[in-house]
Amino acid sequence: MKKPTDDEKNIETNFRDKMTYGEYLQLNSILSSQKRLSDHHDEMLFIVIHQVSELWMKLILHEITAAKQAISDGDLQVSFKKLARVSQIQSQIIRAWDVLSTLTPSEYLEFRGELGNSSGFQSFQYRLIEFALGNKTDYILKIYEKDSKLSKELNEAYQEPSLYDISIKALQRGGFEISENVLNRDVTQPYQHDQSVQDAWTTVYKNIDKYWDLYQLAEKLVDIEDSLQQWRFRHMKTVERIIGFKIGTGGSSGVNYLKQVLDQRFFPELWNLRTEL
Instruction: Output the pLDDT for position 44.
Output: 97
Distance, C-alpha 179 to centroid of its chain: 29
Binding residues for heme are 235
> How far apart, in whole angstroms, are the C-alpha atoms of residue 70 and residue 122?
30
Question: Which range is least confidently modeled, 66-70, 177-181, 222-226, 255-259?
Answer: 255-259
- pLDDT per position as a tens digit, 187-240: 999 899 999 999 999 999 999 999 999 999 999 999 999 999 999 999 999 999
Mean pLDDT value of segment 151-174: 97
* Domain range 39-276, its CATH number among 1.20.58.480, 1.10.600.10, 3.40.50.1110, 3.40.50.150: 1.20.58.480
pLDDT value of residue 42: 97
Instruction: Specify the pLDDT at position 254.
Output: 78
**pLDDT tens across 33-81, in order?**
999 999 999 999 999 999 999 999 999 999 999 999 999 999 999 999 9
Q: Which of 91, 102, 88, 86 is nearest to 45 (CA)?
A: 102
* CA dist 12 → 8, 17, 24, 164 (Å): 9, 12, 16, 48
Q: Domain segments of the chain: what residues? A: 39-276
Tell me how far apart the alpha carbons of residues 166 and 223 are, in angstroms, rounded to a whole number: 17
Give 180-222 as a DSSP string.
Answer: HHHHT--TTSPP---HHHHHHHHHHHH-TTTTHHHHHHHHHHH
**Which region, left, alpha or beta, applies to residue 136 given φ > 0 means left and ψ of -120 to 50 means alpha?**
beta
pLDDT at 6: 63
28-66 exposure pattern, b = at least 16 Cβ within 10 A, e = fewer: eeeeeeeeeeeebebbebbbebeeebeebbeebbebbbb
Q: Where residue 137 falls among pLDDT bands split at 50, 70, 90? A: confident
Q: Whole-prediction pTM value?
A: 0.92
The gap from C-alpha 93 to its chain's centroid, in whole angstroms, comes to: 9
What is the pLDDT at residue 59? Answer: 98
Task: Tell me the per-residue pLDDT of 93-129, one tens digit each, with 9 for 90 and over.
Answer: 999 999 999 999 999 999 999 998 888 788 999 999 9
Torsion of CA 219, 222, 226, 227, to 10 degrees: 70
- Residue numbers in the known binding site for substrate are 46-50, 108, 112, 249
Write out the binding residues.
46-50, 108, 112, 235, 249
End-to-end CA distance of the chain: 66
CA 273 to chain centre: 25
pLDDT given for residue 4 in this prediction: 59
More confident residue, 52 or 15: 52
